Homo-oligomer: A and B are copies of this chain.
């Protein structure tokens, strides 16, 4: 199992923050993923900064599918060590 897959496996059902190539962040609970880095998040909200410098958080539906090729990085507040 590759580094990315092991990381996502350990992050299942936890809150993750996904940074996308269009400059937007999406936060939600990771429910599913595959080896393209396609992600399914629950209770997702998008987070971005307006041109006026205001931070905005929008709920974006109960469940969201993110196409993996848009992902720059994924961070998790706390997960265990990688074996």
A interface residue numbers (CB < 8 A to B): 2-4, 6-8, 17, 20-23, 26, 31-40, 44, 60-79, 82
Contacts and interface: CB of A to CB of B under 8 A. Distances in A.
Contacts of A73: 26, 60, 64-67, 70
A67 B72 contact: yes
Contacts of A71: 67
Contacts of A74: 64-65
Given A22-B21, A32-B6, A34-B3, A64 B70 contact: no
A7 B40 contact: yes
Contacts of A60: 17, 73, 75
Contact of A72 (B17, B20, B77): B20
